[in-house]
Every structure is written in structure tokens, then in C-alpha cells.
Amino acid sequence: MTVIPHSNRISIRDFLARRGIQPKYERNGCGMYLSPLREERTPSFKVDYMRNLWYDFGLGEGGTLLTLVMRLERCDSREAVRRLQNGEKRDAGSASLSPGVGERPAAGDPLPVVRPAAVPALRILSDAPLRHPALVGYLSSRGIVPSVAAAFCREVRYEVNGCAFFAVGFRNDAGGWELRSARFKGGSSPKHITTIDNRSDTVIAFEGFMDFLAYLSLKHPERLRIDAAVLNSVVNLPKAIPFLSRHPVIHAFFDNDEAGRKATADLIRLCPLSEVIDQSHFYRGHKDVNDYLTARIKGRTQKPSTQKNASETKAVQTLRNNLQAPKAEIAAIEPPRRKGVKI
């Protein structure tokens, strides 16, 4: 008898709860957990309750419940389905849905014939220029200048378990996508870094593409003249070393947290012949470059107005439309210019 897996109907939230794993906080239909896949003190494991998907920001990985069970219990898809089905048969309130890691199934347990899923967890359908108002509005809320987004991002249509969605897409060097929208943060395989090679001796490096876009939105250059590297996850730093290490000067714009500081230290260690400049002090007090940008914009737009004249209203509207930092802020956050190098 053929058994069709029903893992999609099992809630990841319930699966984790049965293992005693609860979210540290919940917001907008999502829960943030301490990752069950590694040790951490700040929750960076997100579960989207509506789509029933997970994403580990520290690892840059995500997927369905089936892929989570495969990662947790170090087994293939057939064994993961078997354990999930056995868990359904047992008491729903059990603390564990399957045998412990490394345990073998009991002798004599029937192994169902599993029909592999025909559709991957997340499948890219198409990409096109950014036009959808929801995505344009999302980027605007993050302080990203439209011309910058249009130059480096695409409107990506993707499918999860037969349901179609769309998001802002940022392509990596291996053909995979980082996907962002107001309700979703994830990506498609293969996972890799994104590099922009202008044959410069200077490179700017970022953890995520939103920080890269925020940096360009602060500078608002006509075009990027120097090289750039976006890790798309700090775990991808080793993949970026061959590209980064060929540059005499590396400006690191990593996050102001433990992972970001470690990435900067690793970058200095792995690129001994390069001058690695830690730029994180320019946005001290903020998590990252994009957080710095949005905080500045929010602070300016919320300042009490003393004169309600037409010119002031027009200036505020221009600020909201352009989302561009004043020259003093631009000078503070951009890398110092070097002789003979246009940044």
C-alpha cells in the first residue's frame, strides 16, 4: 500500500512545541525561536505560521517541516516522513515526534512506501523588473531609493507547496535568490554570495543585500564604481574570501552584533594581505546599515513642525520620495576616498 506523506499538514509550530521549543516572541503571524539547529542566545530562527515554513538566518537555510526533520535528525526524506507518520500515530501531546537523533527504528516496524514530493519546497517561477506597488512600498519603508532597487533587484514570482507568491529578489552568483517582502524573508537554492566586479582595488562587503541597498541609498551614486560583495549570510564568508582577498582595501559593513563582529575578525584573519577597515562604528547604536538609514528617516519625518507653509510641506514630501540622507550623514557612512580610486 502506498502512503502519501502528510508532512505539509503538520504545523511546524506544533512540532517544535511538542519538543518543548517555544518562540521567544511572535509578530505578524510569525514566531522567532532560538535555533534548534545550533547554539545561540539571540533568536534568529523564524517560523511563518501561515506558510508553514522555517528559516534560520544564522545558517541561511530554510524550508518545510520535512527539511527541518531531515536537518534535526540527520536522515533522508524517506526516514523523515516515516518518523513524522509514526509521530502522528502516537499521542499528539508527546514531547517528541520521533526517535532521538541517531536512534534506529524498532525492529519489525513497517516501512511505508513513500512517494517523493514532486514539487520542491520553494520553486522560482519567473523574474521581472520591479513594478508591484506592494514591493515598491516595502522597499520604500526600508528607505531604499527606487533607482537603486531597480538596478540590483527583480520582482520574483515563486511557488511554495502549490501556492504562488511574489517578493523582491536579489540574485546570487550561483543562480539562487534572496527573497524579501513585508511578510517573508527567505531564499531559493543554491545558496551563495553575490559579487559585483568593477575591477577596482577597493571592495565594500555586507552581510545582507538590504544593507548593500541602504548604503547605496545613503550615497545615491550615479553608478557603483568600486567592487562589492554581499554574503547573503555570514556562514558564506569563506566563499567570499577568494574574491575579497584580491583587493588591497576591504571596507566591512557587517552587523553590530556578535556574529557581525566575529565575521569582521575572521575577515581580517583570512585576508592578511588586505587592509580591512571595520565601518560598523559609523552606525554604532544600530543593528546594521539599513537600521541606521530607517532610523534617520523616521527621526527626520517625525520632527515637530514649527511652520506649516507650502515650501516646508514640499520639502518633507521630497524627503519621503527621495529617502536620501543629508551630505553630513553620507560623508560619515561612506568609505574614505583613496588617491586614484573613485568610490
Residue 191 predicted with pLDDT over 60: yes
Confidence of residue 213 (pLDDT cuts 50, 70, 90): very high
Instruction: Provide the pLDDT for residue 63.
Output: 87
Instruction: Provide the pLDDT for residue 72.
Output: 84
Instruction: Walk me through the domains of the chain, giving residue ranges and CATH numbers.
Output: 2-114 (3.90.580), 122-192 (no CATH), 194-343 (3.40.1360)
Confidence of residue 304 (pLDDT cuts 50, 70, 90): low
In angstroms, the CA 151 to CA 82 distance is 46
The residue with greater pLDDT, 209 or 323, is 209
The residue with greater pLDDT, 330 or 141, is 141
- Mean pLDDT of the region 232-241: 92
The residue with greater pLDDT, 169 or 317, is 169
Q: Can you tell me whether residue 84 is helix, strand or coil?
A: helix
Cβ-based neighbours of 238, under 8 Å, separated by 6 or more: 270
108 and 52 Cβ atoms separated by less than 8 Å: no
Strand order in the sheet with 163-171: 122-128, 154-160, 163-171, 177-180, 185-187
32 and 44 Cβ atoms separated by less than 8 Å: yes
Residue 292 predicted with pLDDT over 50: yes
Instruction: Provide the pLDDT for residue 159.
Output: 87
Read off the pLDDT of residues 57-86 as tens digits, 9 standing for 90 and up. 877 788 889 889 888 888 888 888 888 877
Cell of 186: 527567505
Which amino acid type is present at position 11? S
Instruction: Provide the pLDDT for residue 98.
Output: 35
In angstroms, the CA 6 to CA 332 distance is 54
Provide the phi-psi class of 340: left if phi over 0, else alpha when psi is between -120 and 50, else beta: left
| Report field, pTM of the whole predicted structure over 0.75 | no
Strands 154-160 and 30-33 come out as unpaired
Confidence of residue 294 (pLDDT cuts 50, 70, 90): very high
